[in-house]
Amino acid sequence: MSTADRPRTPRKPRPLRSRERREEIIHLAEDAGPAGVDELARHFGVTPSTIRRDLTHLSADGRLARTYGGAIAVPRGRAEPSLRQRDGQAYEAKRAIARWAAGRIGAGQSLLLDAGTTVALVARMLPTGAGLTVTTASLPVLGHVQAREDLTTRCLGGRLRPLSDAFVGPLTEVALERLSFDLAFLGADGVTSDGALCEAESEQTRLKELMARRSHRVYVLVHAAKLGHRPFHAWARLEGPWTLVTDDGAPPETVEEFRRAGRDVVVVPGADQNPNHHSTTGS
């Protein structure tokens, strides 16, 4: 039954505290399907901007997934894990991907490093004495480069998103609009063969799209389990060409699906193989 078939009855006057209202938003999204901002505002007798703040808060906590104009419940057991929880997942594959990515960096280049555990490993492997400029919104990346006197480091501020340990939002986007980069290394929660990157909330996807637009060359770094993965409902579509970099744990038929769709794909061998050997196809 659709949401339209199950109208939400407006609440009686007693105003709810923000925590109570957010808990009820979760229950409504679980019981009656997608929750729209205007509908929720009428239900609770508050302004749409209040509901948007509630949805942003719940999305940042991994309890709702943002959609255009509202949010849906995250299926039980599929809440967004924190960066710390993800840190040890597929570590050898991430390290091999990061080593390959660091090998693409040339002297004097301006780099944009996204949030995410694989990109943070790239920060640990940056070449020394190369006169690089590193820009990031990621706290783990900053932690890896802050003591490097051979780097110029720039931090993009904004709203701190605790689950990803990174800044997002309008302030981050404004800062990006004033910069450009030779290389961008992006992460993602999932990537599909039609060229879309999946994230938990729309602020993350908007930021990735802007990062790609401001960069001459874009690499999306994801280990094999993320190929075709759709854990959330916010999506980024990158306007220009970009290269997908994954590990050799990816099934050949999945890699071929991406290539048939015209994606530029690099498959990096495992950590115990020669990191300079790779396979690629142009888009």
Q: Model pTM greater than 0.75?
A: no
What pLDDT does 238 receive?
92
What pLDDT does 71 receive?
64
More confident residue, 240 or 215: 215
**2 has pLDDT over 80:** no
Q: How confident is the model at residue 26 (pLDDT cuts 50, 70, 90)?
A: confident
111 vs 259: CA distance, rounded Å: 26
Closest CA to 89 of 184, 189, 201: 189
Q: With pLDDT > 70 as the criterion, what percentage of the chain qualifies? A: 77
- Tell me the chain's radius of gyration from C-alpha atoms: 20
What pLDDT does 39 receive?
86
136 vs 167: CA distance, rounded Å: 9
Exposure on the CB side of residue 44, measured as CA atoms within 13 A: 26
Mean pLDDT, range 135-139, rounded to an integer: 97
Mean pLDDT, range 26-52, rounded to an integer: 81
Question: Could you tell me how far CA 10 lies from the centroid of its own chain?
Answer: 35
Length of the chain: 283
Mean pLDDT, range 253-260, rounded to an integer: 94
Q: What is the mean pLDDT of the chain?
A: 84
Q: How confident is the model at residue 85 (pLDDT cuts 50, 70, 90)?
A: low
**79 has pLDDT over 60:** no
Please answer whether residues 188 and 211 qualify as being in contact, where contact means their C-beta atoms are separated by less than 8 angstroms.
no
Note the pLDDT tens digit of each residue in 98-116: 999 999 999 999 999 999 9
What pLDDT does 82 receive?
54
Looking at residue 150, its amino acid is D
10 vs 32: CA distance, rounded Å: 14
